[in-house]
Amino acid sequence: MKRGDLVSNLNRFGYTLVSPETHRNNENEVFELLDDLVDSEDPRLVEGFPVVLANCAHRGLSLDFRDLLSRHKVGSRKQQDLELLLLVSSDLLTQQGLDKPGNLESLSKTLKTKYGDLLSNNVVTLSSKVSLSTERLRNTLKRYTTDLVTSRTTRKREKDRQRLSFQLNYYLSTLFAPKQKELVLKKYNGEPLNKTEQEYFSRKVKKKLEAMTNKEVMRVATALARK
């Protein structure tokens, strides 16, 4: 593949050097791109290998990296270089707290027994004589995936919020009648209560809440819930 085409394909997988992403990708395209990166003699392009994998995971692409490796002769230069890049990329994704695509996690465990901890070295040298600085790989991944980290954090925060909201509603429903639960949530969220609601809250609901916060009641509830 010509350098221009390689740069264009890298753009589509988050390593944007020229133009914005405008294409939808599939497994074969990813594998072709990774194969071409291994053949490249330009270290700056090869540094995009982990970035491609991070973006594939972010998009939910299903990738079977064992299939990618099986396309090359066992022990061949290309297979070994792919293994090195897959392993160092997996470790970098772990360091950055990024998701991994396909079976990369299980594969990396196998590769680590073969190649060891690549990030403990300053350089990863491919058989093509391309030397990759592990520090540059780390910085490049961080620079090009900042938005992915933010997006993942936002998704996790939203999932946690939904889970807590579900639990809160579930437990309130076991303790309060529907109308009482509604008043509890309105009061908790700072919504105003009319005169009738406020009187009912003070006369009925608040007494239940006070009972729930009593240390003795909490001690008994905790003990009985464990039996």
pLDDT at 163: 73
Tell how strand 131-133 and strand 123-125 pair up: antiparallel
Domain ranges in the chain?
3-144, 176-225
pLDDT at 98: 86
User: Tens digit of pLDDT for each residue in 20-33?
Assistant: 444 455 788 899 99
Contacts of 213 (CB under 8 A, 6+ apart): none
CA-CA distance, 196 to 190, in Å (whole number)?
Answer: 17
SS (HEC) of the chain: CCHHHHHHHHHCCCCCCCCCCCCCCCHHHHHHHHHHHHHCCCHHHHCCHHHHHHHHHHCCCCCCHHHHHHCCCCCCHHHHHHHHHHHHHHHHHHHHCCCCCCCHHHHHHHHHHHHCCHHHCCEEECCCCCEEEHHHHHHHHHHHCHHHHHHHHHHHHHHHHHHHHHHHHHHHHHHCCHHHHHHHHHHHCCCCCCHHHHHHHHHHHHHHHHHHHCHHHHHHHHHHHCC
pLDDT at 2: 66
With beta carbons less than 8 A apart as the criterion, state whether 34 and 54 touch: no
User: Tens digit of pLDDT for each residue in 104-123?
Assistant: 999 999 999 999 999 999 99
The pair of three-digit structure tokens given for residue 114, joined into one six-digit string: 């073969």
Mean pLDDT of the chain: 85
Most confident of 56-65, 79-88, 188-197: 79-88
User: Tens digit of pLDDT for each residue in 138-185?
Assistant: 999 988 887 665 656 566 666 667 777 788 888 888 888 999 998 988
pLDDT at 23: 46
pLDDT at 160: 62
Contacts of 109 (CB under 8 A, 6+ apart): none
pLDDT at 21: 46
Query: pTM for the complete prediction?
Result: 0.59
Contacts of 123 (CB under 8 A, 6+ apart): 131, 132, 133, 134
> Residue 7: how many CB atoms within 10 A of its CB?
19
pLDDT at 114: 95
pLDDT at 81: 96
CA-CA distance, 185 to 209, in Å (whole number)?
Answer: 12
User: What percent of the chain has a predicted confidence (pLDDT) above 90?
Assistant: 45
With beta carbons less than 8 A apart as the criterion, state whether 9 and 36 touch: yes
pLDDT at 59: 83
